[in-house]
Structure 1
Amino acid sequence: MSDELDGKHGVQSLEVGMSILRAMVTGKRSMMLKDIAQAADMPPSKAHRYLVSLIRSGLVEQDRLTSRYDLGPFALNLGLVALDRVDRIRLGLSAIGDLRDLTNETVALAVWSDRGPVVVRWERPRRPITVNVLTGTSLSLLSSAAGRVFAAWLPEQQTEALLRAELESGRVPAGLATLDDARRLLAEVRARGVAVISSGYFARGVEAAAAPVFNFKNEINMSIALVGVEGTLDLLPHSPVLQALKEACDALSRRLGATLLPGVESGDHAT
């Protein structure tokens, strides 16, 4: 009977130790004891006792010169093993299937390639009139929602040549003529956390919204887009459809190890 109760309630000391590790992961760098205790919401004396055990297990190490604590070799090994076992595309396919079921809209998954964003899979909704998205389609950086997402969160040195080529071609939405125009648009996308395009889409009569998916390095890894016939998607800022899109991308980002999620302009974005 006691074993059953232990199984149901778990091991509290382990959960406390995990809260310390989570605090250290969120800290992004080596930390002093007082900072770890504050982040884990516990007295420094209690945090220190757990850190001693975590050091013995190899999950934490302490720099003798600075007295700062950081993740230890066993924690790093666990992370590498976990990353090796994560199949991002498989997880992405599952996410777009769930989002399609939730919204009953066409949902596409895009990744970055040497040619720019490319659709790797799409899910058709259960409705008579839909938008078909071809697997392998290369997306414009400025005339597609997923393209804007990649352009907004990738370092500019990685996208500048493609952006300039699109601008010079003239096949861009109205109001975009220069690289500075594109930068202002992409800054708005980063601030909002989602890209919405209801006119000027690269395919006539189509509108879309897309959000980023981040990996454990907090770098954009994929993008998920909702695509519909123009005038059929609810693209207002707080619409249930956009909320579902953001939540799906945030959940997938966390599954891939991301700790910083969009919605607020990041000072770490490279320009």
Structure 2
Amino acid sequence: MAEKKNTQVQSLLVGFSIIDLMVERGIPMKFNDIHHETKITKSNLYKYLHTLTSLGILHRDDNTGMYTLGSTLIQYGMAAVNKEDVVTKTNSFLQQINLKTKETTLLTVWTQSGPMITKMIHSSLGLNLGGQVGSILPIQSAAGKLFAAFMNNPMIEAWKNDQQANWDKKDRQWLDEELDIIQEQKISFAKEALASSISSVAIPIFNYNDDIIGSIIVVGFADAIPQSTDHELSLYLLEKSKEVSSVFGGKL
């Protein structure tokens, strides 16, 4: 017998509706609150909560009786994060952008030395615009500014300080203003950061925790690369940023 398409197990859907509620609320919840929100009958809700608790998906505090997310769910999430293969999962997006723009398209991820090129699809025109897989990009590059704008940890702060070690006050102020704009617009532009007459535009890739885990860059001659958000290509890339981030649970 042929398997029916779109067949779903109703009890699993109900169980995950409880988990979704706990994730959305983000706070301990009482039985009555869960009942009120889910509209599941009390007799069935007892069964679901008991099952989810016994599996460690949820945790019930013995003193308060309130429910929170359990350790098993955290383990599942960490397993998914540890298997987060940015290069593989973004490959189709890089190809789409490369076909659309016909310009060199790069993927970068963060390393201790700064954003590193991990994937490159060359321009359809066969232009060699500098840089290669393994190259580390500077802070004034489109990708460098993205990571500087959205990462927030001691490692990124040390890198920013090192990159600006020989900068004067005016240049430092310029970067601060650029980063504020990038945080608002969620797209980054750069001129001649990689080579003379070469410009670039970069979009961030966010995960479920709104952490930047990579960036996609389009590189080309200055007259082919936008430098503002109202350009058709910029709008296209902003949509692609949402699409690729959703693969990792990001919500822009």
TM class, shorter-chain normalised? 0.7 to 0.9
Q: Does 1:195 align with 2:188?
A: yes
Superposed, which structure 2 residues align to 1:45-124 within 5 Å? 45=41, 48=45, 50-124=48-122
Question: Aligned to 1:137, which of 131, 135, 159?
Answer: 135
Q: Distance in 1 between matches of 2:60 and 2:241?
A: 35
The letter for the 2-side match of 1:64 is: D
TM-superposed CA distance for 1:157, in Å, is 3.6
Q: Does 1:229 align with 2:210?
A: no
Does the aligned pair in 2 maintain the 1:34–1:44 contact within 8 Å? no
Q: Does 1:219 align with 2:206?
A: no
Q: Distance in 1 between matches of 2:32 and 2:219?
A: 48
The letter for the 2-side match of 1:242 is: S
Q: Judging changes above 3 Å, is the alpha-carbon distance between structure 1 residues 35 and 177 closer, same or farther for their aligned structure 2 residues?
A: farther
Q: Judging changes above 3 Å, is the alpha-carbon distance between structure 1 residues 135 and 36 closer, same or farther for their aligned structure 2 residues?
A: farther
1:94-120 per-residue CA deviation (whole Å, 9 max, x = no partner) reads: 432233234333211112222211212
Does the aligned pair in 1 maintain the 2:105–2:216 contact within 8 Å? yes
The letter for the 1-side match of 2:22 is: M
Q: Distance in 1 between matches of 2:145 and 2:62?
A: 46
Instruction: Find the residue that maps to 1:226 and give its secondary structure.
Output: strand
Instruction: Find the residue that maps to 1:231 and give its secondary structure.
Output: helix
Q: Judging changes above 3 Å, is the alpha-carbon distance between structure 1 residues 188 and 36 closer, same or farther for their aligned structure 2 residues?
A: farther
Match of 1:155 in 2: 152
Q: Distance in 1 between matches of 2:40 and 2:177?
A: 45
Instruction: Find the residue that maps to 1:201 and give its secondary structure.
Output: coil
1:105-151 per-residue CA deviation (whole Å, 9 max, x = no partner) reads: 3211112222211212211232365735422222111x211000010
Does the aligned pair in 2 maintain the 1:107–1:123 contact within 8 Å? yes
Instruction: Find the residue that maps to 2:223 and give its secondary structure.
Output: coil
Structure 2 unmatched ranges of 5 or more: none
Q: Judging changes above 3 Å, is the alpha-carbon distance between structure 1 residues 74 and 239 closer, same or farther for their aligned structure 2 residues?
A: same
- What's the C-alpha RMSD, in Å, of the aligned pairs? 3.3
Q: Distance in 1 between matches of 2:99 and 2:73?
A: 37
Does the aligned pair in 2 maintain the 1:151–1:159 contact within 8 Å? yes
Q: Judging changes above 3 Å, is the alpha-carbon distance between structure 1 residues 88 and 31 closer, same or farther for their aligned structure 2 residues?
A: farther
TM-superposed CA distance for 1:65, in Å, is 2.8
Q: Distance in 1 between matches of 2:195 and 2:95?
A: 23
Does the aligned pair in 2 maintain the 1:122–1:133 contact within 8 Å? no
Does the aligned pair in 1 maintain the 2:201–2:226 contact within 8 Å? no
Q: State the TM-score, normalized to the length of structure 1.
A: 0.74
Q: Distance in 2 between matches of 1:183 and 1:36?
A: 45
Instruction: Find the residue that maps to 1:169 and give its secondary structure.
Output: coil
Superposed, which structure 2 residues align to 1:231-270 within 5 Å? 231-258=223-250, 260-261=251-252
Instruction: Find the residue that maps to 2:196 and give its secondary structure.
Output: coil
